[in-house]
Structure formats: C-alpha cells, structure tokens
C-alpha cells in the first residue's frame, strides 16, 4: 500500500486539529449608559467600539419604527460619542441597536431601550454628603467597605439615572453599589476596595462621592475625612505555590492552532498527541525497512 508523505499528512491533520478548538471568547462592545430614561437633551451615549461607522449603529423611534439619523464622534477618553442628529422628543421611546463586534461573547448583546424625559440643563453640582462616611475592614483584612450618604441636588435629579456614582477614597474610585436613602433625594453608596501599601501608611484618608457621565463634566462632593486602618499587605510568595507544576518549555518553543481554555485546550492537546504518535510510528517504520 502506498504511504502518503509525512508533509501531506501534516498539511491535513494540523488544520483539522486547530479547527477542533472552538473560537475563543471575546469581549463584546458596550454602549452606555444602559438606563430606562434620559433627558431629551442628552449629550450622547458612550460606545466602546471607537472605530465604528454609521452602519454599525441604528437609532429607532419605537412608535413609528422609523430609523433616525445619528452623529458619531468624537472619541473622548477611549469611547466613541453616539448622539441623535436631532434632540430626542420628550415622552417618546427609542431603541438603540449597535454592533457588538464579537460573535463568541458569553452573554449576547441586546439593544438599549429608553424613554426621553423633559430637557434639563446639565447639572453643575452633585449634592451634599450627609453624615460622616464609615469604613469597615472585611474578614481577612485585605478588603474594606465604605458607606456614604449624599443628598442629591435638585438640578441633578433629572440626570441622576444616567450618571454613575462612585465612592472615592484618596482619589481612587471603589466598586460601588447605589440604593435609595430613607429620605427623598438621598442616595446610599456602598463601596468595596482593597488595602494597599499606600492605604496602610496612614489611618487618615479622604473620601468623596463622584458622579461621572461621558461627554459631561465630572461632579464631586466636598472631600471629607475618613478613618481606615488597613494592614500592610503581605509580600508576594517567591516561586511556585506548593503542588503547582512548573511549565517546561519544549523544543517547539510555542503553540499552534487557536488559543482557548477548558475543553478546547484538551481537544487541541489530544490532536497534538495523536499527531506526535503518528510521526514516531512513521520514523520507526523507516528504520525497520533500512
């Protein structure tokens, strides 16, 4: 029986092994803010796909299904401005569709649906921080929680859903969750952060509340003092952790095929192992026929 040359077998098997690995996950483009209501004079949405064109964005009047013109640009702080060519009409509902530029995202992208409220001037103040903010060290000592309360200014109220509120400690924003306070116009902010060498250097810190919206001025409350006793971070261990195998470089010095994780990596490994076995078997047959 005629044997195929090794080069032919490799040309057939290598692409097949690579194709067996599913396409890797990617990060879908985002359009923010994703809120139920914006003022009619909203400045624009922030699209993370900075190279997008008009064919990638579609603004639709929900009642009439008519597509409306949009203006793209400029790019500011790493996001593309997407605004209607004409201001929104108060009381109307809109749908904003956009290209995610990712077919393998773990969560599918959905359009934005929102209603336009009455136009209002952009706010110049956020409001006033109420009562001192409190900080608590979490179990384990590496994380801390800060709770702050803000009385939102009347001029901020129409814009509040669109702005992102954050607790800021020593200039660094924390991962923040916002809920309504006991009184009308109050917001409770719970921020989570992690201790660092800078935070551990002193128990005295500053805290403020920050409101951010793309293409609009950032607003902050007056800084206040905060007591936070962070322990000094532990030095990172040197060398591999116990029980963790150290990778050993092979003669190939790299990898081929797709870069994936989980089942896709094992599929590619099996394909590579089978290919290696084939090469060894053919080499043995060649030696046996000499």
- According to the model, what pLDDT value does residue 274 have? 37
Question: What does the block give as tokens for 287?
Answer: 């030696």
State the DSSP code for 53: -
Q: What is the pLDDT of residue 204?
A: 96
pLDDT in tens, 135-185: 999 888 899 999 999 999 999 999 999 999 999 999 999 999 999 998 889
Q: DSSP class of residue 64?
A: T
pLDDT (0 to 100) of residue 108? 74
pLDDT at residue 67 tops 50 = yes
Residue 124, pLDDT > 80, answer: yes
The confidence band for 240, taking pLDDT boundaries of 50, 70 and 90, is low
End-to-end CA distance of the chain: 18
Cross-strand partners of 135:
146
* Cα torsion angle, 256, 260, 264, 265, sign: positive
Per-residue model confidence (pLDDT) at position 89: 98
C-alpha to C-alpha distances, 163 to 94, 253, 288, nearest whole angstrom: 19, 49, 76
Q: Looking up tokens 């800060």, which residue turns up?
A: 146
Q: Could you give the domains of the chain?
A: 31-117 (2.60.40), 127-227 (2.60.40.10)
Residue from 27, 78, 24, 32 nearest 51 by CA: 78
pLDDT at residue 285 in the model: 45
Q: The whole model's pTM is what?
A: 0.72
pLDDT at 232: 83
**Res 230: pLDDT:** 93
212, 220 in Cβ contact below 8 A?
no
Half-sphere exposure of 124 (CA within 13 A, CB side): 1
pLDDT band at 23 (very low <50, low <70, confident <90, very high): low
Average pLDDT on 202-229 reads 96
Res 2: pLDDT: 52
pLDDT for the residue numbered 255: 37
pLDDT digits (tens, 9 = 90+) for 82-110: 999 999 999 999 999 999 999 876 777 89
Report pLDDT for 131: 86
Closest by CA to 160, choosing from 32, 15, 16, 35, is: 35
Judge whether 231 and 141 are in contact, CB under 8 Å. Answer: yes
Report the C-alpha gap between 190 and 207 in whole angstroms.
Answer: 12
Would you say residue 222 has pLDDT above 90?
Answer: yes
The number of C-alpha atoms within 13 Å of 198 and in the hemisphere containing its C-beta is 8
């Amino acid at each position: 029986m005629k044997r195929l040359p090794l080069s032919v077998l490799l040309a057939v098997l290598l692409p097949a092994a690579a194709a067996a690995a599913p396409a890797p996950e990617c990060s879908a483009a985002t359009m923010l803010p994703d809120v139920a209501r914006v003022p009619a004079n909203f400045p624009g949405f922030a699209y993370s796909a900075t190279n997008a064109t008009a064919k990638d964005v579609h603004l639709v009047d929900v009642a009439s299904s008519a597509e409306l013109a949009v203006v793209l640009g400029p790019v500011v702080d790493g996001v593309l401005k997407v605004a209607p060519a004409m201001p929104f009409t108060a009381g109307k509902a809109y749908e904003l569709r956009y290209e995610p530029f990712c077919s393998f995202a773990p969560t599918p992208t959905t359009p934005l649906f929102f209603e336009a409220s009455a136009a209002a001037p952009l706010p110049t103040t956020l409001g006033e921080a109420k009562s001192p903010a409190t900080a608590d060290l979490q179990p384990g000592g590496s994380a801390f929680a800060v709770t702050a309360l803000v009385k939102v200014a009347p001029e901020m109220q129409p814009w509040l859903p669109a702005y992102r509120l954050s607790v800021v400690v020593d200039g660094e924003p924390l991962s923040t969750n916002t809920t309504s306070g006991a009184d009308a116009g109050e917001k409770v902010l719970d921020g989570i952060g992690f201790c660092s060498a800078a935070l551990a250097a002193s128990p005295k810190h500053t805290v403020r509340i920050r409101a951010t919206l793309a293409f609009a001025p950032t607003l902050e409350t007056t800084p206040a003092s905060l007591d936070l006793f962070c322990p000094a971070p532990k030095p990172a261990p040197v060398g591999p952790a116990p029980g963790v195998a150290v990778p050993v470089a092979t003669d190939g010095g790299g990898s081929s095929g797709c870069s994936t994780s989980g089942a896709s990596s094992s599929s590619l490994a099996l394909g590579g192992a089978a290919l290696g076995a084939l090469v060894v078997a053919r080499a043995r047959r060649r030696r046996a026929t000499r």
